[in-house]
A and B are shown apart, each in its own frame.
Chain A
Amino acid sequence: MAFVEIDGLVKRYGSLSIFEGFDLHMENADRLVLIGPSGCGKSTLLRCMMGLEDIAGGTIRLGGDDYIQGATDGRMTLDRRVQKEVGMVFQHYTLFPHLSVLGNLCLAPVRSRGVKKSEARDKAMGLLERFGLAERANFYPSQLSGGQKQRVAIARALMLDPKLMLFDEVTSALDPELVVEVENTMMELAEGGMPMMIVTHDMHFARSIATKVVFQERGKVIEAAAPDDLFGNPQQERTRDFLRNVLHIEG
């Protein structure tokens, strides 16, 4: 039994079919990086796992528990207890602009998990300290740089002690010089043993953080392997094409 099991996932946007029976498994110790051409459904996959999208079929399991089950009539079932064990960080920060950094971090624990305010606050300060953001605790999102915003977003997700973190192109909206600070934060999490699923266009980062890389195209897994194998010795023609293109563009 794998830590994450996605079996027979079916996802459609109206008449546009994204997945027709998609399977993917991930072990507890894995950091899985999803790569693939734009529009192939990487974000959709993460959104399905987070319970943000209705799925038409298949099951998603975490630690052996079914928590999302698709149904053909569109009425999927979602176990909110398990869903709460997954954290997600988005491309465009999605911090709450009317709350301070501390407010952003404490909102969910205090308002939906019944954590005491002072406890949440201490925990938040601890996380901010760790990320070098302690002196920004009372700033508002509009007063932060893109890199800082994204690291606050990561801290916000960590406040809920997730068992799995999802990252959807979290550095794509950042200026190049700010990318590193966010990637370093993610590296630090990785070293702490956090299971992650990461979508990124940065192949160097993918190679350094991943334990397993999945190349996905047109709703199917084309190839999945350890980073050195997939980047160094891709087995599939389509993987080679894709890598040639992106690495060529990256120069």
Chain B
Amino acid sequence: MDFDFSFLAEYSGVLWRGLLTTLQFVGIAVVLGLVWGFVLSLGRTSSNKGLYWLATLYVEFFRGTPVLVQLFWIFFCLPLFLGVELSGFISAVIALSLYSGAITSESFRAALKSIDASQFDACIALGLPQGVQTVFVILPQAMLRAIPNLLSNVVSLFKESALVSAVGMADLMYVGQNIANNVARPIEILTAIALIYFAIGFPLTRAVSLVEGRLLKVVKA
């Protein structure tokens, strides 16, 4: 069996655009997910029972169902529900962001929970008002502690983003499969696609463990 990777050069432009589309989806989902996740985590730590259950149900549901199902649901059902046309792009962004928000809120919540109770004692002993305690002591620590998890969420989203190809978005995965069909050379093209994903996913994953090690040292005081 002989392989021929040379034809890939011809498609480099298309692949590049596919990759950019992928990164675009990930970028938007990460940013929107941060905001939405923060709001959700407020709900999940709220003393208001109604808010708490609403947020909890939401998070558990999005973590307990396949992202593919979520994506199809948003793509096919949301327009019917709202009675408006949604482009595939918008649907995909909404789906990824809703999922992103769910996992992000978990990262925030875990970070908040991991702050030692003695930190709160110290605040009281120093007579810090509630607001000062939250803004200057608890929130910054929660953010620091959440960073590794937030980064690893980025990796997850990066990988899950390949699903948007299933609703016809021309991301890296989609472009790759298209070329594979056209030139009937699946091995070369699919391997190349996998390697491109790896070339981004691997350093990101490494960065997560590096940052984690660093932060653990700082936060453990």
- The answer to whether A160 touches B127, judged by C-beta atoms less than 8 angstroms apart, is yes
- The answer to whether B140 touches A50, judged by C-beta atoms less than 8 angstroms apart, is no
A90 / chain B contacts, CB cutoff of 8 Å: 118, 121-122, 125
A142 / chain B contacts, CB cutoff of 8 Å: 217-221
- The answer to whether B125 touches A96, judged by C-beta atoms less than 8 angstroms apart, is no
> Please, how many angstroms separate the alpha-carbon atoms of A157 and B116 in the complex?
19
- The answer to whether A98 touches B126, judged by C-beta atoms less than 8 angstroms apart, is no
Whether a CB of chain A sits under 8 angstroms from the CB of B132 is yes
Whether a CB of chain B sits under 8 angstroms from the CB of A51 is yes
- The answer to whether B141 touches A98, judged by C-beta atoms less than 8 angstroms apart, is yes
> Please, how many angstroms separate the alpha-carbon atoms of A188 and B132 in the complex?
32
> Please, how many angstroms separate the alpha-carbon atoms of A90 and B125 in the complex?
10
- The answer to whether B221 touches A93, judged by C-beta atoms less than 8 angstroms apart, is yes
- Number of A positions contacting B (CB below 8 A): 29
CB distance from B84 to the nearest CB of A (A): 45
A80 / chain B contacts, CB cutoff of 8 Å: 127
- The answer to whether B127 touches A97, judged by C-beta atoms less than 8 angstroms apart, is no
B136 / chain A contacts, CB cutoff of 8 Å: 107, 111
Chain A 96-111 interface residues, beta-carbon cutoff 8 Å to B: 96-98, 107-108, 111
- The answer to whether B127 touches A83, judged by C-beta atoms less than 8 angstroms apart, is yes
Chain B 175-221 interface residues, beta-carbon cutoff 8 Å to A: 217-221
A94 / chain B contacts, CB cutoff of 8 Å: 116, 118-119, 121-122
- The answer to whether B132 touches A111, judged by C-beta atoms less than 8 angstroms apart, is yes
- The listed residue (B126, B144, B218) touching A108 by CB distance below 8 A is B126
Known: A96-B119, A98-B140, A111-B136. A160 touches B126 (CB 8 A): yes
- The answer to whether A87 touches B125, judged by C-beta atoms less than 8 angstroms apart, is yes
Whether a CB of chain B sits under 8 angstroms from the CB of A88 is yes
The proximity string for B residues 106-148 relative to A, scoring 1 for CB distances below 8 Å and 0 otherwise, is 0000000000101101101111110010001100110010000
- The listed residue (B124, B140, B144, B220) touching A52 by CB distance below 8 A is B124
> Please, how many angstroms separate the alpha-carbon atoms of A160 and B122 in the complex?
13
Known: A94-B119, A96-B119. A108 touches B220 (CB 8 A): no
Whether a CB of chain B sits under 8 angstroms from the CB of A141 is yes
CB distance from B91 to the nearest CB of A (A): 40
Whether a CB of chain B sits under 8 angstroms from the CB of A92 is yes
> Please, how many angstroms separate the alpha-carbon atoms of A98 and B215 in the complex?
10
- The answer to whether B221 touches A95, judged by C-beta atoms less than 8 angstroms apart, is yes
The proximity string for B residues 88-116 relative to A, scoring 1 for CB distances below 8 Å and 0 otherwise, is 00000000000000000000000000001
> Please, how many angstroms separate the alpha-carbon atoms of A47 and B120 in the complex?
13
- The answer to whether B125 touches A107, judged by C-beta atoms less than 8 angstroms apart, is no
Q: Give the nearest-CB partner of B126 in chain A.
A: A108
B127 / chain A contacts, CB cutoff of 8 Å: 80, 83-84, 108, 112, 160
> Please, how many angstroms separate the alpha-carbon atoms of A108 and B218 in the complex?
21
- The answer to whether B121 touches A112, judged by C-beta atoms less than 8 angstroms apart, is no
Q: Give the nearest-CB partner of A98 in chain B.
A: B140
CB distance from B139 to the nearest CB of A (A): 10
> Please, how many angstroms separate the alpha-carbon atoms of A51 and B129 in the complex?
14
Whether a CB of chain B sits under 8 angstroms from the CB of A140 is yes
Known: A90-B118, A92-B118, A111-B132. A97 touches B125 (CB 8 A): no
Whether a CB of chain B sits under 8 angstroms from the CB of A31 is no
> Please, how many angstroms separate the alpha-carbon atoms of A40 and B221 in the complex?
28
Select the residue from A80, A90, A97 with max chain B CB neighbours within 10 A: A97
Q: Give the nearest-CB partner of A80 in chain B.
A: B127
- The answer to whether B126 touches A107, judged by C-beta atoms less than 8 angstroms apart, is yes
CB distance from B219 to the nearest CB of A (A): 5
> Please, how many angstroms separate the alpha-carbon atoms of A158 and B14 in the complex?
66
The proximity string for A residues 33-49 relative to B, scoring 1 for CB distances below 8 Å and 0 otherwise, is 00000000000000100
Pairs A–B under 8 Å by Cβ, sample size 18: A47-B121, A80-B127, A90-B125, A97-B141, A97-B219, A98-B140, A98-B141, A98-B219, A107-B128, A107-B132, A108-B127, A112-B126, A112-B129, A112-B132, A142-B221, A156-B126, A160-B126, A160-B127
Residue ranges of B at the interface with A (Cβ–Cβ < 8 Å): 116, 118-119, 121-122, 124-129, 132, 136-137, 140-141, 144, 217-221
